[in-house]
Amino acid sequence: MARILNGRAAAAAVRREVSAEVMKLKSRGVSVRLDVILVGEDPASVTYVRNKQNDCAEVGIESQLHSFPEDVPQKELEVLVERLNEDDAVSGFFIQLPLPRGLDAQPLISRIDPDKDVDGLSPLSAGRLAVGLPSLLPCTPHGVIQLLKRNGIELEGREAVVLGRSNLVGKPLAQLLLRENATVTVCHSRTQNLAEVASRADILVAAIGQREMIGGDHVKEGAVVIDVGIHRTQDGITGDVRFGEVEPKASAISPVPGGVGPMTRAMLLYNALEAARR
């Protein structure tokens, strides 16, 4: 019987803390504003953006949406990024991903001022993280660390295995776990004997983007399992982990939904606050 790592509860705690700090800044005449660039009308993206704006409102962060049709020229987005970089009223901003076909996110993300990069995805933010300079942290990996810490799970000296090496999750999460003094192994699609390597983990993080790929044979008895996956199916949302099979072996496990997802949203608010302080 594993302990369930409740991301909704931990995210609510983060929002309360952020809200209190936003109020303090406001009383000193500093406002916090998070701008969002949304291109096209993909229903999932529209919903995510609406949720993020509601989160902002709840904690007293202003939010301005910059909406574009899917055929907007790349150049126009470049100009907007430069303008938001320079606008002192904007604490931070992000581009909702993925962009529609025909647009290239990377050169846009690369242009974002790292002090306003609330997604923490620009090469400058990634570089700062890698060399240990202060930086805005990518929301999902930071959410994973916060979910662990807020549940009293010790990381120092423990064996952490990250499944997945994306720039969005796997790579920055490995950096954050290193910073917490965990011993870190990163696995990926070419890893041999994945189950064997994963079974060494005291802390196992699944961020591979393959629905229910991780089962009991990947998990050591008593391990802490974090599921970053999110897959929409006919009968609801599931993760990268076969929960029913893994939960009995784990000492603690994060559910999908209600685990890492809510933490990702909360850490975006935290980053907006951090950006406003810069």
Which residues are known binding-site members? Answer: 164-166, 230
Pick 182 or 270: Cβ nearer ligand GUE: 270
52 part of the active site: yes
**Active-site residue (options: 35, 55, 96, 202):** 96
Task: List binding-site positions for NADP(+).
Answer: 164-166, 230
Pick 2 or 49: Cβ nearer ligand GUE: 49
**Active-site residue (options: 52, 171, 220, 249):** 52
Instruction: Write down the least CB distance from residue 236 to ligand GUE, Å.
Output: 9
Pick 161 or 238: Cβ nearer ligand GUE: 238
- Burial letters for 209-240: b for 16+ Cβ neighbours within 10 Å, e otherwise? beebbbebebbbeebbbbbbbbeeeeeeebbb
Instruction: Write down the least CB distance from residue 48 to ligand GUE, Å.
Output: 5
Pick 146 or 182: Cβ nearer ligand GUE: 146
In the block, which residue shows the tokens 């072996």?
249
Question: Site residues (CB under 6 A) for ligand GUE?
Answer: 48, 94-97, 119, 139, 230, 237, 256-258, 261-262, 264-265
What is the edge-to-edge ordering of all strands in the sheet holding 203-206? 3-4, 252-253, 224-227, 203-206, 159-163, 183-187
Task: Tell me the two tokens of residue 156.
Answer: 């120092």
Using DSSP, state whether 242 is helix, strand or coil: coil
- Burial letters for 138-168: b for 16+ Cβ neighbours within 10 Å, e otherwise? bbbbbbbbbbbebbebebeebebbbbbbeeb
Looking at residue 138, the DSSP 8-state letter turns out to be P
Pick 60 or 141: Cβ nearer ligand GUE: 141
Give residue number: closest CB to ligand GUE: 261
Q: What backbone phi and psi angles, to 5 degrees, belong to 85?
A: -55, -40
96 part of the active site: yes
User: CA separation (Å) from 19 to 36, 73, 186, 272?
Assistant: 19, 37, 35, 11
**Active-site residue (options: 35, 55, 113, 119):** 119
Instruction: Write down the least CB distance from residue 237 to ligand GUE, Å.
Output: 6
Instruction: Write down the least CB distance from residue 11 to ligand GUE, Å.
Output: 8
Helix-strand-coil percent breakdown of the chain, rounded to 5?
A: 45, 20, 40
Element (H, E) at 86: helix 74-86
240 part of the active site: no
Instruction: Write down the least CB distance from residue 23 to ligand GUE, Å.
Output: 24
Please identify every residue annotated as catalytic: 52, 96, 119
